């Protein structure tokens, strides 16, 4: 048996793919979900905020299921949990809400039992659950990650995002399930399209590694998933094509969408023009949107100990939440 502390974690949202890096590139963003977890005599959930509406408040919640995987892996039994959760990450919009829930639950459950599992093990488990390492790697490690998965083990290299990148995200007022956005993709690609994506994805990683932002517009182009998904997101094709002419370094569908993300150099003077272009394009398509300026988050999931917290769960969040 172990002492039963109260564990809190903060986990960042993420954007996956960054255009050509389908299922391999991810970047953490400064939008967060928070989870508090403790052992209990009966399982109880306290879900706060608009973003968690409709999420199950019982043992069918993803957080509970993932926590039990950690306990099984570690060979301990913690059948009943009291979980509080607050999130600023919109659900099913392409900003890695499921990855944040998975990584947050893994980190919280692991900390609850004295952290027997390594980060590498948590990464493997997260990837098996999510089925691709891009969002979960970014939420776990922070920064920009380039990752591979062999079906069992995931590996990644983390790049520091630097100080110059910023992202303008356009979040449409409708949900797009990852399963639906993957369902429209072909099973096979031509050699030409494969080369097109490999070359751009490699260029993008190299550009981000050395801070050469000039090639980003070309490096964010993709032929593997975005052309097929464009029909699911009105305005997407025009925004991906034209955003660089309005001040963006490049633009991409964020994860499986429907959120669109324009990367910007923070020193760029044309932010208002970019905002106007994105807003007007979506308005022409009659798509209601929310726009947010976000920054890359260098820190991955953060575990707070009892001693560090000292405040109630909601008080702790108040200072950091964007809502």
Ligand X SMILES: N[C@@H](CCO)C(=O)O
Stretch that binds ligand X, among 14-22, 159-167, 202-210, 311-319 (CB under 6 A): 14-22
Residues 130-149 that bind ligand ATP (CB under 6 A): 135
When CB distances are held under 5 to 8 angstroms depending on the partner's kind, the choice from ligand X, ligand ATP, none that residue 63 binds is ligand ATP
Count the site residues for ligand X by CB under 6 A.
Answer: 13
Pick the closer one to ligand ATP by CB: 66 or 274. 66
Inter-residue long-range contacts of 49-56, CB under 8 Å, 24+ positions, other chains counted: 49/86, 49/87, 49/88, 49/321, 49/323, 50/323, 51/87, 51/88, 51/89, 51/90, 51/91, 51/97, 52/85, 52/86, 52/87, 52/91, 54/91, 55/91
135: contact with ligand X by CB under 6 A? yes
Task: Report the sign of the C-alpha dihedral through residues 199, 201, 207, 210, in that order.
Answer: negative
CA-CA-CA-CA dihedral for 16, 20, 22, 27, to nearest 10: -20
Classify residue 196 by burial, with Cβ atoms within 10 Å: 0-12, 13-18, 19+: middle
Please provide residue 143's backbone torsions phi and psi, each rounded to the nearest 5 degrees. 70, -150
Stretch that binds ligand X, among 1-9, 33-41, 177-185, 300-308 (CB under 6 A): 177-185
221: contact with ligand ATP by CB under 6 A? no
The CA distance from 239 to 168, in Å, is: 12
Is 98 annotated in a binding site? The answer is yes
Please provide residue 26's backbone torsions phi and psi, each rounded to the nearest 5 degrees. -150, 150
Q: Are strands 7-16 and 165-172 parallel, antiparallel or unpaired?
A: unpaired
When CB distances are held under 5 to 8 angstroms depending on the partner's kind, the choice from ligand ATP, ligand X, none that residue 23 binds is ligand X
When CB distances are held under 5 to 8 angstroms depending on the partner's kind, the choice from ligand ATP, ligand X, none that residue 106 binds is none
Report the nearest approach of ligand ATP to the CB of residue 61 (Å).
5
171: contact with ligand X by CB under 6 A? no
The CA distance from 127 to 119, in Å, is: 12
95: contact with ligand ATP by CB under 6 A? yes
Residues 252-311 that bind ligand X (CB under 6 A): 255-256
Stretch that binds ligand ATP, among 24-32, 89-97, 157-165, 263-271 (CB under 6 A): 89-97
Is 266 annotated in a binding site? The answer is no
The CA distance from 118 to 249, in Å, is: 36
Report the nearest approach of ligand ATP to the CB of residue 175 (Å).
8
When CB distances are held under 5 to 8 angstroms depending on the partner's kind, the choice from ligand X, ligand ATP, none that residue 217 binds is none
| Positions at the binding site | 90-100
| Positions at the binding site for ATP | 90-100
Query: By the criterion CB under 6 A, which residues form the site for ligand X?
Result: 16-17, 22-23, 132, 134-135, 178, 181-182, 225, 255-256
């Amino acid at each position: 048996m172990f002492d039963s502390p109260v564990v809190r974690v903060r986990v960042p949202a993420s954007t996956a793919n960054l255009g050509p890096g389908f299922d391999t590139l991810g970047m953490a963003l400064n939008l967060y979900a928070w989870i508090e977890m403790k052992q209990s005599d009966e399982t109880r959930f306290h879900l706060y905020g608009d973003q968690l509406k409709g999420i199950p408040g019982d043992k069918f919640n993803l957080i509970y299921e993932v926590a039990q995987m950690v306990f099984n892996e570690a060979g301990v039994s913690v059948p009943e949990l009291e979980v509080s959760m607050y999130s600023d990450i919109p659900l099913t919009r392409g900003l890695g809400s499921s990855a944040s829930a998975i990584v947050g639950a893994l980190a919280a459950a692991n900390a609850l039992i004295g952290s027997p599992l390594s980060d590498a093990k948590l990464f493997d488990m997260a990837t098996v659950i999510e089925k691709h390492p891009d969002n979960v790697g970014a939420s776990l490690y922070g920064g920009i990650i380039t990752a591979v998965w062999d079906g069992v083990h995931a590996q990644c290299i983390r790049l520091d995002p630097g100080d110059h990148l910023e992202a303008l995200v356009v979040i449409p007022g409708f949900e797009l399930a990852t399963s639906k956005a993957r369902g429209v993709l072909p099973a096979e690609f031509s050699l030409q399209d494969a080369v097109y994506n490999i070359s751009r994805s490699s260029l993008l990683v190299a550009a981000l590694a050395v801070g050469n932002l000039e090639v980003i517009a070309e490096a964010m182009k993709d032929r593997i998933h975005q052309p097929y998904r464009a029909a699911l997101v009105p305005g997407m094709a025009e925004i991906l094509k034209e955003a660089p002419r309005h001040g963006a370094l490049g633009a991409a569908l964020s994860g499986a969408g429907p959120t669109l993300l324009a990367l910007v150099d923070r020193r760029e003077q044309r932010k208002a023009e970019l905002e106007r272009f994105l807003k007007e394009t979506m308005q022409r398509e009659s798509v209601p949107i929310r726009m947010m300026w976000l920054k890359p988050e260098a820190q991955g999931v953060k575990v707070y100990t009892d001693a560090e917290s000292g405040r109630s769960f909601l008080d702790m969040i108040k200072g950091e939440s964007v809502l």
